[in-house]
Structure 1
Amino acid sequence: MTGPLVVIGDVLLDVDIVGSSSRLCPDAPVPVVEQAEERPRPGGAGMAALLAAAEGRDVVLVTALADDDPGRRLRAMLERHVDVAAFHLHGGTPCKLRIRSGGQSVARLDAGEGQAMDGPVGPRVAEAISGAGAVLVSDYGRGVTRHRAVRSLLADLPPGVPVVWDPHPRGEPPVPGVVRLLTPNEEEAARLAAADGADIAGFGLSAAGRRGRHLGRSWGIEGVAVTLGSEGALLCDGSEAPFLAPAEPARGDSCGAGDSFAAGAVQALADGGPLTAAVTEGVRRASEFVRAGAAAGVAAQLAETGSARLVPERGEDAWDVVERTRRAGGTVVATGGCFDLLHAGHVSMLQQARRLGDCLVVCVNSDASVRRRKGPSRPVTPAADRVRVLEALSDVDAAVVFDDDTPAPLLERLRPDVWVKGSDYAGTTLPEAETVRAHGGEVVLLPMLEGRSTTRLLSTTKGHAS
């Protein structure tokens, strides 16, 4: 990409009023929000531009702004991070105000019905669009994408400039012949397809795929990525089967996730990636965005550091799990082993162990530790993969790797209330038992499923191979 990333679209001022609420108003059954704090942020195309700039890109935002207080606040926030090329917005700047308490919206107030009307856009806008290395159109139905001059400039872009169009049901159809990727969400895809005359009933992947294929054919677009929230995004690109980019689990406010997806996708295309890579990157960015606090997190970052850069919070590790469980007065259960090839015997023991308390931490032998115990041909599965498989089980709250010959040094730190081993250890001395009991814990043995072991699985496999 030789030129800057140009984001074109409607900008809104989003404001969260965040406080706490513990009582109702005496004259109406509505919550009283106290200790309220105002957290403003750019919305719409402004959010998409900020997110792209936070990744280190040179970004130019082409939009329409009114000369009113919300417009001036928006310009001040944006110009610290992106180059703003704006023409006149007729009417008041659109504002959305959310009153929030306890992580939930209590009320939303919308004001400002400004529209971008046809007229001169000025040389700065023309220069920005014609010199773009990549373009993201972020349509929020306020007229920027309807503007004749803007559409004419988009139509004149060189063929090699990737254009991603993030549509809106009240917005405009994409400029013909220039868009490489369309990024509607499920609801937008349904409404756009219906408005285009397609009677496509149903929901889920099948309906999303049919709507995506219809929009791609009807509008002459190479790829249509229908975003599916927590399920990821479905890319329809003319192939026999669509490509699904699954999302990593992410809980939280999803406001602005679509902007994050589109910003990630256009940057991947700008770097020369194919559509599949663009959609995968978009899903990854959107998942991280939600985990990091979404649009509200951007507002907090702007207020605290002046930066829109969001870093997702790391997931809970074993120490977080133990601390949280102990704070709540719960029982910490731990178990350990190699777990080289996870089998039904492992799963049965883990299920039983989890029932003994309020969390289960699995202590996993490192690769070197397994080799010392089992020989040079083991482990079959590296430690990182063994941990990933274990943590995918619903009964396992966390897994942690140890490199010692016994888990005793690790248990000195974890101090579990219950240490679990399989009944195959009956009659043997467990070197870690003394450590567990020294901190008030107990060691218990749980029944194992007969005939299930990694060694037996591997010997059976070798026998079949020979």
Structure 2
Amino acid sequence: MADTTIDLGACVKRLARASVLVVGDAMLDRYVYGEVERVSPEAPVPILTVTREVAMPGGAGNVVRNLTALDASAAFVSVVGDDQAGSDLTGLIGGQERVEPWLLVQGGRTTTLKTRYIAQGQHLIRADREQTIPLPEKLTERLIRIALDAVAATSITLLSDYRKGVLSDEVAAQIIAGAKSLGRRVIVDPKGRDYSRYRGADVVTPNRRELAEATGLSVDSESAIVAAAQVLLARYDFGAVLVTRAEDGMSLITADEVRHFPGEAKEVFDVSGAGDTVVATLAAALAVDVPLVDAARLANIAGGIVVGKVGTAVARPADLLAALSPVTGALRKVVTAANAAEAAERWRTRGYKVGFTNGCFDLLHPGHVHLLEQCRAMCDRLIVGINADASVARLKGPTRPAQGEAARAAVLASLASVDLVCLFEEDTPLELLKLIRPDLLIKGADYTRDTVVGAAEVESWGGSVALAELLPGHSTTATLARLRG
């Protein structure tokens, strides 16, 4: 990773103090997952047997989702229709912590809804419903008035333009002018050929294709990207152009300097929503006075994180800190619950069977190793949940655990049979199970199906429960008793 003059880890911890205004086009992203086992007799098309559906905010709503994932606060001004998608989107946005939503309702408008149908990790088709006409005059005036009030109450303004009608020339220009008059910086994630409506913005963040479309110039090399970005700087009085280049990283161009940041992703699974993550991270960092170059570096790291995940993902502070950490090898297998859930989803979309087991795993012994090897043999990827120290003490007594949670997690992570390790604070792993949704839940043969915590829940989403044989003569309690004489 490139050297930096400031502590980026400290910058990540400051993001929770960020307050960002987002104005733009809200959408609803719906994912329909299922299995395809036959072709329809009615037409040569696959039959998708639906197993589950997931809905989440899209467009500018995904920018807000990324901000809250970073623990930043957001005010969100947008427009939805008076339809079911609008109602669902309003509920999803309003259900997020640290969000002040101003979702105006326009009667008769169709809320943008993108529905993706996915089977065995393959994207079958996407169906869109949307309306992209400009807003009526009175609604436009109300939106501008609310947005300008929110500018004064936040640290930075972010315009997320998906060309669905919210950010017309008038809306964008007035918000930028209002923000500048109050000394607030403006970041724009742009669309279209004409960037004149964004004139005077502090930072614009086109991707490579959008840069070519806006300038009519080639962008097939770093030098060409710089030349095209310099045209935008001169033509529209922008403070900086940050060009996102997918897996190739980003380029930051200002009047005084050019910085190229290489791609951070070790493996690219899905670039969906990566631009939203980049602009959200950039805005949050600038809102807490991180210098532009370092804010761009953080945004580049965040973008590299999300393209390594499946679907419209987010980067969290723990993700950024892990990417900045010198920790390598087995310890990278110790993850948060949210990261474990995202990894499980990524593995499932690739057709892998995800298994889960749990325990205290205090003083790892041959019986544990035997159990974990059996668990791994039953699945393609194994996630191990371990009780945090406070949980072990409640279950085993005040003298336990013999080893702290960090040590127990590190030892487990060193085993080849274990793919991820995740701590949980509760006495049982039930909430963690609901988050990860494994295909297989495995416990030792000293349990029965009826006594396995989470068995009913796992079976409810189509998973199964298995019992692994135990290696006789090994237990942590007996080992500790022998050690104590």
Q: TM range, normalised to the smaller chain?
A: 0.5 to 0.7
Evaluate the alpha carbon distance shift between residue 250 and residue 32 of structure 1 in structure 2; reply closer, same or farther with a 3 A threshold: same
Partner of 1:228: 245
1:78 aligns to 2:97 (yes or no): no
SS at 1:77 equivalent: helix
Partner of 1:144: 166
CA contact (8 A) 2:57 2:92 kept: yes
CA-to-aligned-CA distance 1:111-165 (integer Å, 9 cap, x gap): 1215441323165443213332111111000122216355323312246422110
Counterpart of 1:59 in structure 2: which amino acid? A
Counterpart of 1:95 in structure 2: which amino acid? L
TM-score normalised according to structure 1 size? 0.60
Partner of 2:225: 208
In 2: Cα distance, 1:141 partner to 1:171 partner:
12
1:256 counterpart (273, 282, 298): 273
Counterpart of 1:68 in structure 2: which amino acid? D
TM-score normalised according to structure 2 size? 0.58
Q: Which has the larger radius of gyration?
A: 1
In 1: Cα distance, 2:253 partner to 2:223 partner:
11
SS at 1:156 equivalent: helix
CA contact (8 A) 1:14 1:42 kept: yes
| Structure 1: segments with no counterpart, 5+ residues | 195-199, 299-307, 328-408, 416-466
Identity %: 25
CA contact (8 A) 1:99 1:108 kept: yes
- 1:94-173 superposed matches below 5 A: 94-117=112-135, 118-119=137-138, 120-121=141-142, 124-146=146-168, 148-149=170-171, 151-157=173-179, 158=181, 160-169=183-192, 173=196
CA contact (8 A) 1:145 1:151 kept: no
1:268 aligns to 2:285 (yes or no): yes
CA-to-aligned-CA distance 1:55-80 (integer Å, 9 cap, x gap): 21121001112111111110000011
Size of the aligned set, in residue pairs, is 313
Structure 1 position 170, deviation (Å):
6.7
Counterpart of 1:239 in structure 2: which amino acid? D
Structure 1 position 217, deviation (Å):
1.4
RMSD over aligned CA atoms reads 3.4
- 1:239-388 superposed matches below 5 A: 239=256, 241-295=258-312, 297=313, 317=330
CA contact (8 A) 2:195 2:236 kept: no
| Structure 2: segments with no counterpart, 5+ residues | 1-14, 334-346, 353-410, 418-485
Partner of 2:63: 48
Structure 1 position 267, deviation (Å):
1.1
1:33 aligns to 2:33 (yes or no): no
Residue range with higher mean Cα deviation, 112-121 or 35-44: 112-121
1:183 counterpart (198, 205, 208): 205
Counterpart of 2:123 in structure 1: which amino acid? S
In 2: Cα distance, 1:414 partner to 1:3 partner:
40
Residue range with higher mean Cα deviation, 118-127 or 36-45: 118-127
In 1: Cα distance, 2:251 partner to 2:291 partner:
15
CA contact (8 A) 1:129 1:154 kept: no
CA contact (8 A) 1:7 1:61 kept: yes
Evaluate the alpha carbon distance shift between residue 67 and residue 277 of structure 1 in structure 2; reply closer, same or farther with a 3 A threshold: same
SS at 1:56 equivalent: coil
Evaluate the alpha carbon distance shift between residue 34 and residue 181 of structure 1 in structure 2; reply closer, same or farther with a 3 A threshold: same
Structure 1 position 29, deviation (Å):
2.8
Counterpart of 2:256 in structure 1: which amino acid? S
In 1: Cα distance, 2:230 partner to 2:69 partner:
33
In 2: Cα distance, 1:212 partner to 1:110 partner:
32
CA contact (8 A) 2:132 2:163 kept: no
Counterpart of 2:30 in structure 1: which amino acid? V
1:22 aligns to 2:22 (yes or no): no
Structure 1 position 85, deviation (Å):
1.3
In 2: Cα distance, 1:78 partner to 1:169 partner:
26
CA contact (8 A) 2:269 2:307 kept: yes
Evaluate the alpha carbon distance shift between residue 171 and residue 94 of structure 1 in structure 2; reply closer, same or farther with a 3 A threshold: farther
